[in-house]
Amino acid sequence: MRKKIVAGNWKMNTLPAEGVELAENIRADRNQVCSCVNFIVCPPFTHLGGVIEALRGSDIEVGAQNCAAEDKGAYTGEVSAAMLAALGCRYVILGHSERRQYYGETSATLNKKMAQAFANGLQPIYCVGENLEEREAGRHFEVVKTQIEEVIYNLTPAQFARTVIAYEPVWAIGTGKTATAEQAQEIHAYIRTILREKFGAAADETPILYGGSCKPSNAPELFAKEDVDGGLIGGAALKAADFLAIGKGFPQK
Ligand code: 13P
In eight-state DSSP terms, residue 164 is E
How many structural domains is the chain composed of? 1
Model confidence over 146-189: pLDDT tens digits? 999 999 999 999 999 999 999 999 999 988 888 899 999 999 99
Is residue 59 one of the residues assigned to a domain? Answer: yes
Residues 6+ apart with CB under 8 A from 70: 78, 80, 112, 116
Kindly state whether residue 133 falls inside one of the protein's structural domains: yes
Which are the contacts of 76, defined by CB distance < 8 A and separation ≥ 6?
A: none
Exposed/middle/buried for residue 231 (C-beta within 10 Å: 0-12, 13-18, 19+): buried
pLDDT at 253: 58
Structural domain contains residue 82: yes
Q: For 198-244, write each residue's pLDDT tens digit.
A: 999 999 999 999 999 999 999 999 999 999 999 999 999 999 999 99
Element (DSSP H or E) covering residue 44? none
Write the CATH number for 43.
Answer: 3.20.20.70
Please check whether residue 253 lies inside any domain of the structure: no
Reported as type and span, the H/E element at residue 8 is strand 4-9
**Full domain range(s) for residue 117:** 4-248
DSSP 120: T
Mean of the per-residue pLDDT values for the chain?
Answer: 97
Q: Which atom of ligand 1 is nearest to the CA of 97?
A: 8
Query: What pTM was estimated for this model as a whole?
Result: 0.98
Q: Quick check: CB of 235 below 6 Å from ligand 1?
A: yes
Is 226 a domain residue? yes
First to last CA, the chain: 12
pLDDT digits (tens, 9 = 90+) for 11-58: 999 999 999 999 999 999 999 999 999 999 999 999 999 999 999 999
Q: Which of 12, 132, 173 to mutate to test the pocket of ligand 1 (most atoms within 8 A of CB)?
A: 173
Cβ of 177 closer than 6 Å to ligand 1, yes or no, is no
Is beta strand 61-64 parallel, antiparallel or unpaired with respect to 91-94?
parallel
